[in-house]
Structure 1
Amino acid sequence: MIPEEVLPPTEPDLAGVASGTAPPPPGQGRLIGALVGTNAAGYISVAVPMNLLLVTHLTTIAGAGATSAFSLVTGIGGLTGLLANPLGGRLSDRTAARFGRRRTWILTGGLGAAILLMTMGLTTQVWQVAVGWALITALVMFQLAASAALAADQVAPERRGTASGVVAFVALAGPVLGFAVVSAVPGVPWLQWVVVGVMSAAGVLVTVLLVRDPRHWVPDDEPRLSLAIVLRSYWVSPRRHPAFGWAWVVRFLITAAWASNSYLAFVFTQRFAVSADAVPGMIFLLTLVGVACVAVTAWLTGWLSDKLRRQKPFVLAGGLVLAAGLAVVALSPDVWVVYVGSAIMSLGYGTFLATDFALCLRMLPDPESAGKDFAVLNIASTLPVAVVPFVAPALLSVGGFAALFGCLAVLGVAGAVSVLRVPDIGQEGQPRFAAMYRDVG
């Protein structure tokens, strides 16, 4: 007889939760706290270097070639993340460790990235920065793949809008905390990298202490992990699952528009001749403005989404507002107009993020492969980070920052409109959407 404490855990009745006939799974507050910790760690690990530390570090190393070096480093890192995220999701789905299939990878990925971040200030060549950043990106993607799957496993459907809003807020609030602490240790670049690593590690440790992740039991007939299975981790058929496919397109296009945020530091230094010493404070101020905007939109939008049981209108509005902010930055005649445009961008992106996460959770084809499938959706978030830096130099050479931000604004509009092809809550059974959930072979 198998002892009760090692029996596979039973799944909560999420269908009953969605219909209001059953209570939500226990520990939702604790779970959301854990999601705050891991997402804060992940965004601090990526956003602070992308928007500040890599810029200043590569300026010191490469001088006049810093822009090209930045595009190379972040492009390679983006491609690495593109490959690592689905693989991390697949491994998370198949992990049977007692520590928990999601918690295991949150811990190993997050701490591994934190340790590497602490060493990045010691790099002296562009290739060293590229290798280090690629490894950091891969480990963070493992962590975030497991984090998204944890939300898919345990967040009650009626709380997904709220959880999505929390994640959206953390996306900017986490980095602003990082910027604040980093700005307090100016003039010591290697120590700034160490600070980012320590903060990231702290968020990961908070998460593994809060989250309850019962041991996952892999069926005896589950095939061994093979190259073919690994390769299938990078694909969910849009023909068989068109709603999933459209959700992927929406996320890709709007995230590509938001990728312009990484070039704001160069707008200051190259378009308006701001000194390198003044840039960290200006980026910090931009981030504060962004957090204030997201604080207004993310919490309100997430709550309204749950209350109204609607997601598409918020995604549509978010993408259009983001595009409007990009247009303002593209045409900005001075630094203060950049601040206005950045604030509008943050309002739009916060509105998008506050419901996109919840919308994507509804599009997952199979609960048993939530880690892998959501990681495929995350490709739509990581691919623009790889593509935009490679395309940006060509756009900059043709029309400067106006061309770069203007083209990305067009992508934002396209992404916003694409959400019209995705069923909203309760629309899945309507004739025009029903085929999106039918296996067509």
Structure 2
Amino acid sequence: MTASPSRLGPVGGAAADQRTSFGRLVAALIVSHVGCYVAIITPIQLLLTLRLTAIAGDAATSAFGLVAGFGALVALVANPIAGRISDRTVSRFGRRRAWILVGAVTGAATLAAISAATSVWQVVVLWCAVQVLLTFQAAATSAVVADQVPEGRRGGVSGLIGMTIAIGPLVGLSLANGFPAGSPAQWISVAVVTAGAGVVAAVLLRDTSALVTPGPVAGRRRGYAVLVRTFWIDPRRYPAFGWACLVRFLVTCAYAGNTYYSFYLLQRFGVSQDRLGTLVLQLTLLSVVLIALASVVAGYLTDLVGRQKPFVVFSGVIAAVGLAVLAAAPSLGYVFVAAGLLGVGTGAFVAIDLAMCVRLLPSSADAGRDMAIAGIANSLPQSIVPFIARRCWRSGDTPGCSRSLRCSGCWAWWR
């Protein structure tokens, strides 16, 4: 499997014979997305909290902010690179399918290794590696939608894929809760499902290699220019695509608050670690039902009415109300109400978000790269929100310490 240095054109001709039947295609997309969300969201919502609490003790909240923040930051950079490599991959196994399989299997192996980490810096390094590897799977999977899903059916498919953002964590948390809290078996079970999902998706999918078109091999200057363009699409030239990315970023910021569910419950309401997994699972189950309903209904309606903007406005308003309720919640009952509102808002948005981004792609030939750049709007909030939410764990002991990133207390756990 190699990335050709020659100029590559869009898939066509023989590639058309490799298109997956619609049923297999939808199944492959759903399975691959579920595997990604099992691997990413389950650790963020539960497993990293338990692991870092065992390693760092009282400094776990600060440590979690850095682990989640650096991981998302690395994914931010890796996303467009993974998409570009996927666009240019020449392999008999296929340009998308190859990276779905490789990303899932290697990401799962790295995920399992976190269970053996004994210090925070090891968790940071391994989690960053997991993010990079699974980014290849996610970028290739998103590009398949642009490659093979007919335009008139993208809303419905986007709605079905939108359900996976809830199904994935539900599957992962259900597995994790079947083992003792904080045990390596929790990580290994999640890793097995992640790898299995990648294998199943690769088996179901029919794919083709990028086709090489005649043309000179790019020179060094051109190579540098291509690398720079990997991270940039001029919003002045493609304003609609730029707005779609901005909206995705803002709505995802609301959903990214879920990354602190575990710490929020532990510290705001004094939930015990033994009860934590069950409570997070209940909140996730509520979100699953509402995201599934909202995404399917919104996906169907957007195909029916041929408009997407009203659903974007609705989802943003509902998500904002959910965050406000969560911030002011005086009891656990209000937390469930907030989770429900966030589920409805998220479901309505993800149902049309993917279809909207695919419709506004600047170039079908560079679908992997362009979808990966849109994916930055998903990754960036996961980096920004933890860093903003991060608080110095010694702020109660040392006045003014909460604004000092270099105090000995904040960095003690690195030792």
Counterpart residue number, 1:165: 159
Question: Does 241-250 or 225-234 show the bigger shift?
Answer: 225-234
Q: Shift of residue 391 of structure 1?
A: 1.1
SS state at 1:367 partner = coil
Contact kept in structure 2, 1:8 and 1:215, CA below 8 Å: no
The AA in structure 1 aligned to 2:230 is: S
Contact 2:20 2:205 in 1 (8 A): no
Give the deviation of 1:230 after TM superposition: 2.1
1:197 to 191, 204, 213: 191
Matched, 1:177 2:171: yes
Task: Encode CA deviations 1:238-289: one digit per residue, 9 max, x unaligned.
Answer: 0111111101100011111111011121121111111122111100001000
**What does residue 381 of structure 1 align with?**
378
The CA distance in 2 between the partners of 1:325 and 1:45, in whole Å, is 25
Shift of residue 228 of structure 1? Answer: 3.2
Change (3 A) 1:65 1:80: same
What amino acid does structure 2 have at the position aligned with 1:377?
A
Structure with the larger RCO, 1 or 2 (CA within 8 Å, 6+ apart): 2
Aligned match of 2:326:
329
Please, which of 89, 98, 102 is the counterpart of residue 104 of structure 1?
Answer: 98
Contact 2:20 2:206 in 1 (8 A): no
Partner of 1:312: 309
How far residue 197 of structure 1 moved from its aligned partner, in angstroms, is: 0.4
- Runs of 4+ that moved beyond 4 A: 222-225, 394-398
Contact 2:79 2:372 in 1 (8 A): yes
Q: Is the 8 A contact 1:249 1:380 kept in 2?
A: yes
One of 335, 338, 344 as aligned partner of 1:338: 335
**Matched residues in 2 for 1:93 and 1:104: separation?**
12
Structure 2 match to 1:366: 363
Residue 174 of structure 1, CA deviation: 1.5
1:49 aligns with 2:43: yes
1:380-399 equivalences in 2 (<5 Å): 380-393=377-390
Paired residues in the alignment total: 381
Distance of aligned partners of 1:365 and 1:124 in 2 relative to their CA distance in 1, 3 Å threshold? same
CA RMSD, Structure 1 to Structure 2 (Å): 2.0
Q: Where do residues 73-92 of structure 1 align in structure 2 (5 Å cutoff)?
A: 73-92=67-86
User: Taking every aligned residue pair, what percent have the same amino acid on both sides?
Assistant: 41
Q: Specify the alignment match of 2:242 in structure 1.
A: 245
Cα pair distance change 1:362/1:223, threshold 3 Å: farther
CA deviation vs aligned residue, 1:203-254 (integer Å, no higher than 9, x gap): 1111011111023212232645834322211100001111111011000111
TM-score between both structures, scaled by the size of structure 1: 0.83
Structure 1 position 231 matched with structure 2 position 243: no
**d(CA) in 2 for partners of 1:64, 1:232:** 43
* Partner residue, 1:186: 180
* TM-score, normalised by the number of residues in structure 2: 0.88
Partner of 2:269: 272
Post-superposition offset of 1:11: 6.5
Gaps of 5+ in 1: 1-6, 13-24, 399-441
Q: Deviations over 1:101-149 (max 9, x none)?
A: 1011111111110111111100010000000000000011111111111
Structure 1 residue 82: Cα displacement: 0.4
AA of the residue aligned to 2:125: V
Which residue of structure 1 aligns with residue 129 of structure 2?
135
Aligned-partner Cα distance in 2 for 1:125–1:368: 44
Q: Secondary structure at the match of 2:212?
A: coil
Residues 94 and 218, structure 1, Cα contact 8 Å, conserved in 2 = no
Q: Deviations over 1:332-353 (max 9, x none)?
A: 0011110111111111001000
Match of 1:261 among 258, 261, 282: 258
AA aligned to 1:205 is V
Pick from 291, 296, 299 the counterpart of residue 296 of structure 2. Answer: 299
Number of the residue aligned with 2:89: 95
2:295 and 2:86 map into 1 onto residues whose CA distance is 28
Structure 1 pair 328–29 and aligned structure 2 pair: CA distance change class (3 A):
same
Post-superposition CA distance 1:289-343 (Å, at most 9, x none): 0001112111111111112212111111111111111111111001111011111
1:180 deviates by 0.7
2:144 is matched with: 150
